[in-house]
Amino acid sequence: MLESIHLTKNYLNKKALDDVSLKLEEGQIYALLGPNGSGKTTWMKTAAGLTKPTSGEMLYNGSPVGIESRREIAYMSTEPYFFRWMTVEDVGEYFQDFFDDFSSDRYRELLAEMALTEDMKIRQLSSGMAAKLKIAATMARKASVFLLDEPLNGIDLIARDRIMEAVISSVEPNVTLVISSHLVEEIESFASKAVFLRNGHAVEVCDVEDLRVREGKSLAYKYREIME
């Protein structure tokens, strides 16, 4: 499974992650929470193999993340990243070419749910439509780990529930899902675990159900407790 060991990432003028050790369990839905600049994206990008750690390790099934782990880890960034010359159909073709676990049928189903058509050009998509396309392309994979970085950014209120249903329904029982979001109340309804990051440190990991039952606290309340 996915594990970071004393992971540190420095940029020129900032320490994005500072000695973060986290071990994710299989089959759980993690809410990765923290204010802007807390290291959520850096942690996810390191897990996806996009960012090289300054020190420490990011392991997948005991081996450092790399080419092989990319076959099983699906990452969806906050920013749009498809080539601008592509159409929606081209994106599906690209994912089909590079990812053995990508299902074109599932992709088309998700496109239909998101009200997107294959002839649409990437450069002409609104930010909301681009966000939906990212979700469709990512969730059409049968990955073992999904890392979704603020998947509901730019999505209108009505579409959010439908999209989260599509995300949860795409995920099989033994799959690990990590979602970072500022919409704490919205992801509380389906997250099983929560990881709190602040200033590049992993502050706490808790079980959402335990938090509710034993401490009588919501995730949003816990978030405020930790961050304030």
Partner 1 sequence: MKHLLKYEFRKTRTVKTAVLISTCIFEILFLLGLLSNAAVLLGTGITGLSFCATLGMLILGLVSISVLYRELNSCQSYMLFLTPNSSYKIIGAKILENGITLAVGGICFVALAGIDLFLWGVQASDFPTVIQLLSDMMGNIHLNPADIARVLLVLFSGWLSIITIAFFAVAIQAALLNGRRFGGLFSFLIFLAVVIGVGIVMANLPLGQGFLGSVLLSMTFPVSTGVLYSLLYLGITALFYALTGWIMDKKLSV
**Nearer residue to partner 1 within complex by CB, 76 or 194:** 76
Are the beta carbons of 186 and 160 closer than 8 angstroms? Answer: yes
Using CB under 8 A as the binding rule, the residues of this chain from 157 to 176 that contact partner 1 are none
- Counting Cα atoms < 13 Å in the Cβ hemisphere of 31 gives 29
In the chain the first and final C-alpha atoms are separated, in Å, by: 32
Site for partner 1 in 58-87 (CB under 8 A): 67-68, 70-71, 75, 77, 79-83, 85
Cβ contact 35:223 at 8 Å: no
Binding mask 30-59 for partner 1 (x = CB under 8 A): ---------------x--xxxxx-------
Nearer CB in complex with partner 1: 97/105: 97
Which is closer to partner 1, CB of 84 or CB of 214? 84
CB of residue 72 to partner 1, shortest distance in Å: 9
Burial of 140 (0-12, 13-18, 19+ CB in 10 A): buried
Q: Tell whether residue 190 is a contact of partner 1 (CB under 8 A).
A: no
Select from 30, 43, 99, 107 the one that contacts partner 1 (CB under 8 A): 99
Specify the residue, 43 or 223, whose C-beta has the smaller distance to partner 1.
Answer: 43
Among the listed ranges 55-63, 91-99, 152-160, 162-170, the one in contact with partner 1 (CB under 8 A) is 91-99
Binder of partner 1 out of 89, 94, 120, 162 (CB under 8 A)? 94
Instruction: Confirm or reject binding of residue 6 to partner 1 (CB under 8 A).
Output: no
Q: In what order do the strands lie in the sheet containing 193-198? A: 73-76, 145-149, 176-180, 29-33, 193-198, 201-207
Which positions lie near partner 1, rule CB under 8 A?
Answer: 9, 11, 45, 48-52, 67-68, 70-71, 75, 77, 79-83, 85, 94, 97-99
